[in-house]
Structure 1
Amino acid sequence: MADKDLRMQAVDLFQVAVKAADPAGAVARALKADPIAPFGGKLIVLALGKAACAMIEEALRHLPTPTRALAITNAENARDIDGVDLLIGEHPVPSTGSAAAGAALLDAVSGLGPEDRVLALISGGGSALAIAPVAGISLTEKQQANGILLGSGLDINQMNLVRQCLSRTKGGGLLAAAAPAQVRALILSDVIGDDLRVVASGPTVGRVGSAAEARDVLHKAGVWDDIPEAVRHHLEQDTAPPAAREAQNQIVGSNRVSLDAVAAACTDAQIVEDELTGDVADAAARVLQAMEASDGPQTLIFGGETTVRIKGDGLGGRNQELALRVALGAQHLDGDWVFLSGGTDGRDGPTDAAGGLVDRGTIKRMQAAGLDPQAILDNNDSYHGLQAAGDLLTVGGTGTNVADVQLFLRRS
């Protein structure tokens, strides 16, 4: 195994990235720089996503007492906050709790007037945590469609294009429901490139595209026939995206901010790529190329969000699979090195790990445990492979989410 200090350095740098995405600090900076001016109507404060509790708790320190405050998050990041209604949804596949949360969102903004204000605090995970399917699509059908999307290999932009077409809150739906009240949103972006239509599926922004474009994406991914019939029927209506209302949408944290923080914490650091996206195998090849080109002590930094096309029935996530692919391809690399790939929310896929932390001995340790690394990858079972090698990255829920960070540390 690589030197323990080197592995600890990698984890410490990952925590630097997480800290830079601290949702409370991001909200505080935004509301101090641009406070909400006094007005005569109602104030509705809504927080949606994995960072919802941290964001709304901090926001309330800078606001007058709201008419209503509602936070929607997942169980791991949920906590009671005085004066805040708390609802818990499921991620990454929505649940009945997610449906209740979606209904509560719409109820919270119904009947508002032009003198009223809505402050929305948006973070990653919101797409699944609160859902309000369009008429004709049941919760079960929405769950089935979401599960198919997650295993399709589509990127987050493509998945959210489809999700928006099936929802009354996504793609500007919440903004429309709040009319004619003024809406301001503080957004912690978990999307590479920071397209605000994609973060939590853009409830205060607008749609990525049309139903026709969503159909095209599903056909190209080869999953159109797997989608429930009611969903296909709705998408075949080919309705144009509704015209988006104006809202004050502001990014308060992002993946690039976290990468810059890591770079600032190292004297030998280089941000190699801040859009490590696409198929996980292709991303692993790009990482390996950069690793092989490195010379001497160095810290290479990557950020992004890859996709995995699920073909097996194993357990894992995109970061764990990326780490295992890199370990398999870098066995020949000389010197003491480690590679970390982790989700800044502390969760990778449907597992308790944030990702993987591998070194030149990872594959040998797996083989010593009686496992075939290539067979593990073929079955999308990276969790159990890395677990056998002692190479899971486990940090617990972080309360934030700005996509993924990858680090390569080489010291000799």
Structure 2
Amino acid sequence: MPTINSRALLTALHEAAVQGAAPFARTRDAVSHWWRAHAASIPSTAPSPAPVYLIALGKAAPAMVAGALAGLADLHVPVTGGIVVAAHRAGPSDFHDLPLPDTVAVYQGDHPVPGPRSLEAADAIDDLLRSMEPGGVALVLLSGGTTALCAAPIASLSQAVGDAEEAQALIANLAQTLLESGLAIHEMNAIRRRVLRFGAGRLATALAARGATHIATFAISDVIGDDPSVIGSGPCSPDPLSDAEFLAVLDAHGMRARLQRAMAHVLGIAGAGAPPSVPAASHEAFARVRYSLVARNADAVQALARAAHREGIPRVIVEDIPLEGDAATLGDLFAQRAVHLARTLAPGERALLVAGGEPVVHLRDTIARAMQAGDEDDARIAEAALLPSGDEQLTGKALSPQASSADEPLRGGRMQVFAVAASLALEQAAARGDRHAWRVVLLAAGTDGRDGPTDAAGAIVDAAVPALARRHGRVPERDLLTGHTWFSLDAADALLRTGPTGTNVMDVVAILVSG
């Protein structure tokens, strides 16, 4: 594993990135600014001030609610009711130890694959909507994970199968299929929002139907491009795709043959049906929406770069182009770039290469490549790993070291794939006699603290990591190919475990290079 000093430095830089997109202060200031700007149009005098409702959805929901409450308290604005749907069981510290009004309910949804808790959370949002008084102000707080955490089927999907729980199972299968297919988040959400109860602007239309005069939406972006219709599948934003464009997305990824029959029928790619209708962009509800971007990946990347300068690293190179595409390919590419950079540094000189974004993992493509290469064992292992992981498989307890097998659950995320691919590239460079490969240490981690269905944010690796994994019985090349990267990184003691961070602005990569 990397030296203690390098690991400590990169861990500190990751924390700086997280704090650069911390939701509390940013949400507090954004809500306060919005309220002051719109106060004149909000009834606020006795005896009937406008009721105020908070709807916070996503991994950063608790901290965003705490920020909103702090901003409203400064303005002496009471909260009538609300709901928080988070990715974990939220406690007082998640709300910055601020008292939560009794009228604000807290739920935990399922992520990344929606399940019964997500359906329960969606039903609770419906209950809140039915209880809302007309003439109210809705503050909608969105962050990464929203799509899964409160995912529930649209009415036509439930009607098609005759049961809400069965329809929820179709939603879960759709999410699993899209994750396995390696689609980018904007592609996944373009498909999912069509069949989600609150996707594609349906939350905004529901709020307007309950008489909300203002729908103030504050978002922490977990998508490249920060598109409001993609963040959380656009609960308060119209769907920008026509039916023809939507069907083209499905066909571009061969979804007609992959989806269950009932889902394919509802989506309009089987039988004589058409895709589910979505609220038109001209719907009067969207005129009540005011959208504010609270934090984004660029904030985390810039905060990391500033922290590196404070740590005395004189040369910090920030990649302008977001990380997109296959995670393994990018890991290999960035490792090679870092080795090339090391050759240009003088003895004792240090530099840092920084990037942010969200790569993808194409596990089904990996299976196809393994079959084409004649490696049926690797293909079988990867195929078996596609089975959904239960909660008991996400605890992060180390398993007995062994070569990858079909008995092991799929465990590893895009940053862990990036890290293993990079470490293998560094090892190969060192094996060719390039001493500069030993002068590279790489951090690849998510800002939310959880990379894929694992207990780790990502990893910190160098050229020695593959050998350390092999010493404990792993085959990192096979783990990379079959979706088991967590096992190699855990064996090498290279994982970065931070716990939930309270924010989510995609991923960051920081590569420390020494001369």
TM interval, short-chain normalised: over 0.9
Letter in 2 for 1:275: P
Q: Give the 3-state SS of the residue equivalent to 2:483 in structure 1.
A: coil
2:157 to 96, 112, 136: 136
Taking the TM superposition and a 5 Å limit, the aligned residue runs for 1:60-209 are 60-63=69-72, 64-77=77-90, 79=92, 82-83=100-101, 84-110=104-130, 115-134=135-154, 135-137=156-158, 138-179=167-208, 180-181=211-212, 182-209=214-241
The answer to whether structure 1 residue 318 and structure 2 residue 360 are counterparts is no
The worse-fitting range, judged by mean Cα deviation, of 310-319 and 289-298 is: 289-298
Are 1:270 and 2:366 counterparts? no
Q: Name the stretch that deviates more: 235-244 or 344-353.
A: 235-244
Q: Which residue of 2 aligns with 1:367?
A: 470
Paired AA for residue 59 in structure 2: K
Q: Secondary structure at the match of 2:71?
A: coil
Q: Distance in 1 between matches of 2:29 and 2:426?
A: 42
Task: Determine if contact 1:337/1:409 at 8 Å carries over to the other structure.
Answer: yes
Q: CA deviation at 1:129?
A: 0.5
Report SS of the residue matched to 1:61. helix
Query: Deviations for 1:225-260, whole angstroms, at most 9, x for unmatched residues?
Result: 221212111111135642132310100111001111
Measured after TM superposition, the shift of residue 291 of structure 1 is 1.4
2:357 aligns with 304
| Cα offsets for 1:245-304 (capped at 9, x unmatched) | 231010011100111111112232111244101121332244234313313221110100
User: For 1:70, what is the secondary structure of its paired residue?
Assistant: strand
Indicate conservation of the 8 Å contact 1:341/1:357, yes or no. Answer: yes
TM superposition shift of 1:385: 0.9
1:407 shift after superposition:
0.6
For residues 196-220 of structure 1, what are the alpha-carbon distances to aligned partners after superposition, in whole Å with 9 as ceiling and x for unaligned? 1111111111224245434333333
Aligned residues: 412
Are 1:328 and 2:375 matched, yes or no?
no
**Aligned-residue RMSD, C-alpha:** 1.9
After the TM superposition, which parts of structure 1 deviate over 6 Å for at least 4 consecutive aligned residues? none
User: How far apart, CA to CA, are the structure 1 residues paired with 2:322 and 2:499?
Assistant: 25
For each residue in 1:347-386, what CA deviation from the matched residue of structure 2 results, as whole angstroms up to 9, or x when unmatched? Answer: 0111101111101111111222232221111111100011
- Return the match for 1:254 from 286, 296, 299: 296
Letter of the 1:363 partner, please give it: P
1:233 matched to which residue of 2? Answer: 265
* Shift of residue 151, structure 1, vs aligned partner: 0.9
Distance change in 2, residues 1:199/1:78 (3 Å)? farther
Q: Paired residue for 2:397? A: none
- Counterpart mapping for 1:284-295 below 5 A: 284-294=331-341, 295=344
Shift of residue 110 of structure 1? Answer: 4.1
Given that 1:78 and 1:88 are in contact with CA atoms closer than 8 Å, whether structure 2 keeps it comes out as no
CA distance in 2, matches of 1:320, 1:364: 16
2:248 corresponds to which of 197, 201, 216: 216
TM-score by length of 2: 0.76
- Normalised by the size of structure 1, how large is the TM-score? 0.94
Query: Identical aligned pairs, as a percentage?
Result: 33
Identify, as 1 or 2, the structure richer in helix.
Answer: 2
8 A contact 1:189–1:255 mirrored in 2: yes
Query: Please, which runs of 5 or more residues in structure 1 have no aligned partner?
Result: none
Structure 2 unaligned blocks of 5 or more: 44-48, 159-166, 269-273, 310-314, 365-381, 386-409, 430-435
Contact map agreement 1:347 1:353 (CA 8 A) in 2: yes
Q: What code does the residue aligned with 1:166 have? A: V
1:363 and 1:350, CA in 2 relative to 1: closer, same or farther beyond 3 A? Answer: same
In 2, the alpha carbon distance for the partners of 1:210 and 1:143 equals: 24
